[in-house]
Amino acid sequence: MGVIKRQSIKYSVVQMAGMIVGIFSTIYIYPHDKETLGLYRFLSDTAYILVPLFMFGTSALSTKFFVLFSDTKERKTGFYLVMIIVSTLGFLLLLSIVFIFESQIFSFFGSKNSILYTRYLFAILPLSFSFMLVSLFKQFAANEGLITIPNLLEQGIKIFFPLILILFILKKINLDVFIYAIISYYIIICLITGYYVIKVSKLNLSPTFDLGNRSVNKEMVNYALFNILGTTGGVLALRIDTFMVSTMIDLKSTGVYAIASTIATVISFPLSAVYGISSPIITKALHENRNKEVENIYKKSSINLMIMGIFMFLIIWCNVDKIFELMPNSKQISVGKYVIFCLILAKLFDLATGVNDAIINFSKHYRFTLISISVLAALNIIGNLILIPKFGLLGAAIAPAIASFIFNSIKWIFIKYHFKITPFTNKTWLLLILSGLVFGFTTLIPVISNPYLSILIKSTLISLIYGLLVIFFKVSEDINKTIEDFLGKIVRLRK
């Protein structure tokens, strides 16, 4: 776990900084204009939903088959270029489809209760193209064991978006300039990330377009086809709720849901770090039949992610009422309280099952992803269609929570059956008991009227007690080893 741990720590520091900025914006800025926030989330999430449809599985291909084309700079460059060309052709196909069905698309969104839908629908296309290239470039960087810089560039939106929103709220810019600024930002980030990948990958200006023999090509095509369906289902499962809230309720409700979702998403920030840097290592280990290494990564990723996720859950949920008090228009936003709870529970179970996606996706059983992800997408869409009309925003949170629990349970059982490994150990149950004790302790803390003081005192006590219990009972070898190394460095510096 050496490489994984180092890169994950760096990545998590970047994510933590972005998370802090995001939390500040969510509390103090976003509640001022829920409709514009809802518009942005509608456009960006719809763009993300479209990406896997025209990428043709190239992001996953660039990970799974990288080891076959990384022996020379020329072959690696050619492999990367093919991935970019295929994705670009897919985007051109998307443009053609949009052009053919333009009137039907605008007719559907024109029936909504806001003209903003049709007025800015065009923004989805350049956003999709930028997201596609950034996704590829990030994966290319991950193949080199480097994920921090691409993530740092991507996290910049958490600074740029609130700033541009403030300018709009203060009427320094109009909505047209706001939307064009968002598009321009993503295009610039795309270009910078591409330049970074070229530098770190040391690509050759004379690529070799050698994609192996027929059997390899056939396997790549089959893998890509299954990945298109699997990834599309995954994106639908994760982002369709925002789209459905936008189209079934309105943009203001989408803004409220976005605020609740942003708060809940805080707990899962380490997952993308561990997944991103683990994927190439798991791929290579599976390719070389080193199943013990895969099991080791599976177990360690699960316990480490659970420790961080539960810690963030305790901080958020024990302070949620006081957090709402800090927000402008707090009464309108506080309807999202149990939306946060449902979304957090779903993400906690996702963290507990570790890197199950990587183990399945990059093994010979990758076809199973299509089945499980189809179940997830179907459950999420059907759940939203049933629950949103009945429970509104809460229904939009309950549906993905149930779907996520079933989805991760299916993958956990599948891996246990086929690989004979499980992410859970005795330390898992120990962590749950310790977490329950800490939560119980927080209920004994007297109510403090000042929200800032209340959040400070509760968060400090939770951090100290939870942290000390995790360290004392040695719940995670990696965490204890990191602390020992840090203290050792301090001792050596004093000498």
| pLDDT, tens digit (0-9, with 9 covering 90-100), for 285-305 | 887 888 888 899 899 989 999
Question: Which sign, positive or negative, has the C-alpha torsion 479, 415, 312, 461?
Answer: negative
Per-residue confidence band for 495, with pLDDT thresholds at 50, 70 and 90? low
**Mean pLDDT, residues 319-334 taken together:** 88
**Mean pLDDT, residues 437-444 taken together:** 90
Question: Which sign, positive or negative, has the C-alpha torsion 107, 109, 115, 120?
Answer: negative
Amino acid at 10: K
In a domain, 55, yes or no: yes
In a domain, 429, yes or no: no
Decide: helix, strand or coil at residue 366. Answer: coil
- 119 token code pair: 């007025």
Cα 436 off chain centre by: 27
In a domain, 481, yes or no: no
Q: Which of 358, 263, 340, 355 is nearest to 303 (CA)?
A: 355
Q: What is the value of pTM for the model shown? A: 0.79
Secondary structure (DSSP) of 373-406: HHHHHHHHHHHHHHHHHHHTHHHHHHHHHHHHHH
In a domain, 437, yes or no: no
Any idea which of 6-15, 253-262, 300-309 has the lowest mean pLDDT? 6-15
Q: Give the integer Cα–Cα distance in Å for 102 and 94.
A: 12
Q: Under a CB-based contact definition with an 8 Å cutoff, are residues 269 and 316 in contact?
A: no
Model pLDDT for residues 191-200, shown as the tens digit of each residue? 998 888 888 7
Per-residue confidence band for 276, with pLDDT thresholds at 50, 70 and 90? low
Model pLDDT for residues 23-69, shown as the tens digit of each residue? 889 899 999 998 899 999 989 988 988 888 888 888 878 877 877 77
Decide: helix, strand or coil at residue 65. Answer: coil
**Mean pLDDT, residues 212-229 taken together:** 75
| Tokens 């509760």, residue located | 458
Residue-averaged pLDDT of the chain: 84
In a domain, 448, yes or no: no
Number of domains forming the structure of the chain: 1
Model pLDDT, residue 385: 92
In a domain, 495, yes or no: no
For Cα atoms 119, 123, 125, give the angle at the middle one, nearest 5 degrees.
130
In a domain, 282, yes or no: yes
In a domain, 72, yes or no: yes
Could you give the residue ranges of the DSSP H alpha helices within 175-290? 175-201, 214-248, 251-265, 269-287
For Cα atoms 330, 164, 276, give the angle at the middle one, nearest 5 degrees.
90
- Domain of 87? 2-424
